[in-house]
Amino acid sequence: MTDPRRTSDRPTSACPMAETDAPRPAGRSRRQALAAFAAGAAATMLAPGVVLITGAAPGAARPPGTPASPAQRWGLLIELGHCADGCARCVEACQTEHGWHAGDHGAHDPHWIRLVSATDDTHGRTLNLPLMCQHCAAPPCRDVCPTHATFRRADGIVLVDRHRCIGCRYCVMACPFSARFFTPGALTDQRPHMPRGQGTAEGCTLCVHRIDQGQIPACVEACAAAGGGAMRFGDLADPDDPIRAALAELPTARLRPDLGLGTAVHYGDL
Amino acid sequence: MSAPPPIGPRALMGRSARAPLLAGLAVLAVTWILLWAGQAAPELPDTAAAAETGSCVLPGPEMRVRHMDVLFEVRDEVVRDGRRNAEWALHGCIECHAVADAAGVPVGHDDPRHFCRSCHDQTAVAADCFSCHRATPETADGHTVAHHPAGRAHSGDAL
Ligand code: SF4
Ligand code: SF4
Ligand code: SF4
């Protein structure tokens, strides 16, 4: 937590809830708007004693070898109130699962998932918000991609098909959450299931290789194993999926609803 | 108004242009055969894993001709459609055919002994799959971080 990139050079936001910890130099207006939303929702509190059970396998896993189904819509629910101070197990799990590393290039390094910390200076409450690709229903990254490399799978997961990516970085610029990254140099020792390489864009895949085998994403699994229980994965389109009951019961919100992107990551205690 | 002139390869395929093109191709083919006569056809290196498995997903001669068709088809099925079938995964090829050096360490695609290069070098066809795909079997512990030059402890300050 001693990274000199962290706070000193960032513009001070007029909002009471300023994002102080984003490793990427997101535009000022974007940061302010995100913060403004968080400030509005900061008063909502989770009922005491409500603990989420996480780690359950998705209700309707597809038989192996069948294509992704439009009847499904995978998403996450992250209870920020359950995120322990200083915990970064979700980030570590993602790094191990996919073989990406943050190097010495700050904002230009990959951060498929990162922890954004935001403090409300009116009362000092600090959020520790895991931020990854929100798997938008109407993804701007897909809209700007000139080669259809970025696409939305039938089950709503937004991916980069690196075979078609020409490295133009339009998607990196278009994503309102700075959840897309560019690989500038040659890589070796990739994970077998996760090819990554020079000149291509990348981001959180929602652990599509695990979902296709009926497993839950690595970050969700690691969070549950650590006893945090902050992350829940499920099929948002399935009324019987436990995630739907949790969403109906808990006060949750999504980031930047004003953009109308239909994000698939829901946050509690925002 | 006359029709716009054909562009690209279609321009070569006009009735009048087809005969000279075919003749040219025939000459090229003969030259190629003469140039390569006397050289042994490239062979896939034998590996213990391949011998143990005994059979490939397709018969050898068919794989020799069609492996890229197969890979392209599997690629689209997996990436675009989410239809995963471990039997046809590229990494399966690598697990079976990886060539080890004298110390028993599998060689990467920067080494001419890599099984893809054993043919691709001779045919002067670059295999750029490995600018993204891993060219060797993964280490037994499943971790790659320690091998990476940028590998470092997973700590908060790297987020
Ligand atoms: S969060 Fe960003 S990268 Fe992910 S789908 Fe939305 S616009 Fe694309
Ligand atoms: S960098 Fe690749 S995925 Fe992103 S917009 Fe350009 S071609 Fe599409
Ligand atoms: S779902 Fe998978 S790829 Fe996305 S942040 Fe979690 S571990 Fe990383």
**Cα distance between residue B80 and residue A68, in whole Å:** 9
Position A58 scores a pLDDT of 52
A159 vs B79: CB contact, 8 Å cut-off? yes
Which residues is A150 bridged to in the sheet?
A: A160
- In the predicted structure, residue A45 carries a pLDDT above the cut 80: no
In terms of DSSP bridges, do strands A126-132 and A150-152 run parallel, antiparallel, or are they unpaired? Answer: unpaired
Which structural domain range is residue A206 located in?
26-61+69-268
Across the interface, whether the CB atoms of A68 and B158 are under 8 A apart is answered no
- Per-residue tokens: A44: 């909502």
Q: Which residue has the higher pLDDT, B142 or B132?
A: B132
**Do the chains contact at A161 and B138, CB–CB below 8 Å?**
no
**Per-residue pLDDT at A18 exceeds 60:** no
Query: Given this model, what pLDDT does residue B140 score?
Result: 60
Q: Is the pLDDT of residue A178 over 50?
A: yes
Tell which atom from ligand 1 comes closest to the C-alpha of A132: 1
A137 vs B39, residue with greater confidence: A137
**How does residue A131 score in pLDDT terms, banded at 50, 70 and 90?**
very high
Q: Is the pLDDT of residue B73 over 80?
A: yes
DSSP state of A191: B
Is the dihedral angle over the CA atoms A231, A233, A239, A241 positive or is it negative? negative
Average pLDDT across chain B, whole number: 75
Half-sphere exposure of A175 (CA within 13 A, CB side): 28
Nearest chain B Cα to A165, which residue? B132
B10/A267 Cα distance (integer angstroms)? 56
Instruction: Kindly state whether residue A56 falls inside one of the protein's structural domains.
Output: yes
Q: Tell which atom from ligand 2 comes closest to the C-alpha of A172.
A: 4
Q: State how far residue A73 is from chain B, nearest Cα, in angstroms.
A: 14
What is the A202 CA–ligand 3 centroid distance (Å)? 12
- The complex's ipTM works out to 0.75
Confirm whether A12 is domain-assigned.
Answer: no
Sheet of A74-79, strands arranged across: A231-235, A74-79, A265-268, A252-253
On whether residue A11 sits in a domain, the answer given is: no
In a domain? residue A122: yes
**Does the pLDDT of residue B26 top 60, yes or no?**
yes
Q: Determine, yes or no, domain membership for A1.
A: no
The residue with greater pLDDT, A43 or B28, is B28
Helix pair angle (A89-98, A218-225), 10° resolution? 140
Q: Which residues, in sequence order, are bridge partners of residue A75?
A: A234
The whole-number pLDDT of residue B130 equals: 94
Whether A10 maps to a domain, the answer reads no
Query: Which residue type is seen at A1?
Result: M
Per-residue b/e over A123-158, b at no fewer than 16 CB within 10 Å? eeeebbbbbbbbbbeebbbbebbeeebbbbbebbbb
Q: Which residue of A has its CA nearest to B133?
A: A195
pTM over 0.90: no
CA distance B122 to A25: 48
Q: Got the DSSP string for chain B?
A: -PPPPP-THHHHTSHHHHHHHHHHHHHHHHHHHHHHTTSPPP-PPP-HHHHHH---SS-HHHHHHHHHHHHHHHHHIIIII----GGG-HHHHHHHHPPB-TTSPBP-TTSTTSTTHHHHHHHT---GGGGTS--SPPPTTS--GGGSTT-----GGG-
> Which of A143, A93, A86 lies closest to A113 in space, CA to CA?
A93
Residue A138: give its domain's CATH number: 3.30.70.20
Number of domains in chain A: 1
CA-based nearest residue to A44, from A116, A106, A125:
A125
C-alpha separations of B131 from A33, A216, B127 in Å: 39, 28, 9
Does residue A163 fall inside a structural domain? yes
- Does residue A4 sit within a domain? no
State whether residue B151 sits within 8 Å of chain A by CB.
yes
